[in-house]
Amino acid sequence: MKWTERDIPEQKGRVAVVTGANTGLGFETARALAEHGATVLLAVRDVEKGRQAAARMSGDVTVQKLDLTSLESIRAAADDLHETHTGIDLLINNAGVMYPPKQTTRDGFELQFGINHLGHFAFTGLVLDLLLPVPGSRVVTVSSVAHRIRAAIHFDDLQSDRSYSRVAAYGQSKLANLMFTYELQRRLALHGTTSSVAAHPGLANTDLMRNSPAAMRVISPVIAPLMSQKPEMGALPTLRAATDPAVRGGQYYGPDGMGGYRGHPKVVESSPESYDRTVQQRLWTVSENLTGVKFPV
């Protein structure tokens, strides 16, 4: 069976928080959830762009300020959610940055590792108590096929201080997304209400590629029509991970086509490295220490 947006169950009464929801995959994810009845919060850095995105959606959609480059902003957003909601059904960790020149977050973290992993790690830890009491609640974290490309967790240089490769740093951050997903699921399994799931969009035609190396940008117009897919297709693995009743904690969803670049969502395998429990647990401890966020599980 080819799972499509039409297979999303009714979401009325559910609250979904989607990070990076003003463009691309996040926009399509939020739009589809809202159209199926969910109350959706667009958790975005640029509130005005978030409002413009919300105006293009139907349903109950609001905007929440969230700057994943700042632990102060992350804590403020979590406080806002605690003031306005008693529970959250879906937390979708979608926001990300890919292949930028060497930059750091406001807290001094390498930008890709800081936003893609540490920012979402901290945000999840600070709002998880809103998900735990809600039966069937899920944390969905968006990874990438790039978690296999020059990817390792460099504990001796997590912030790429000694040397910086935008490709390797992105791969590390996306591998970290998966390791976080799997370790979180082991911790959540003891509670029995909330599950942790991962997804990847394949090769989606979004503006995430704007910082790609020059050679990749040159060939992109040639290969994109052959290998990539529209954002609404790229969002399907995330949507299935978030809404399909058959989903189980610790699963990873991606396109079913060759190489995982395009197609309809199915359960896929991540790299052997991503399942290393020792590294997962070490990364968890390091992430807690770097962010100052302790999880309630």
Cβ-proximal residues to 116 (8 Å cutoff; 6+ apart), any chain: 95, 96, 97, 170, 173, 174, 176, 177
**Strand, coil or helix: 41:** strand
Where does the pLDDT of residue 220 fall: very low under 50, low under 70, confident under 90, or very high at 90 and above? very low
Cβ-proximal residues to 24 (8 Å cutoff; 6+ apart), any chain: 204, 206, 207, 208, 231, 234
The arithmetic mean of pLDDT across residues 142-167, rounded, is 97
The arithmetic mean of pLDDT across residues 29-56, rounded, is 98
Nearest Cα to Cα of residue 39 among 13, 66, 77, 10:
13
- The predicted structure's pLDDT at residue 218: 42
Mean pLDDT, the chain, integer: 94
pLDDT above 60 for 268: yes
- Active-site residues, by number, are 170
What pTM does this model have? 0.94
- The predicted structure's pLDDT at residue 225: 52
Where does the pLDDT of residue 215 fall: very low under 50, low under 70, confident under 90, or very high at 90 and above? very low
- The position carrying tokens 């809103």 is 130
- Maximum CA extent, the chain: 50
CA-CA distance, 71 to 66, in Å (whole number)?
10
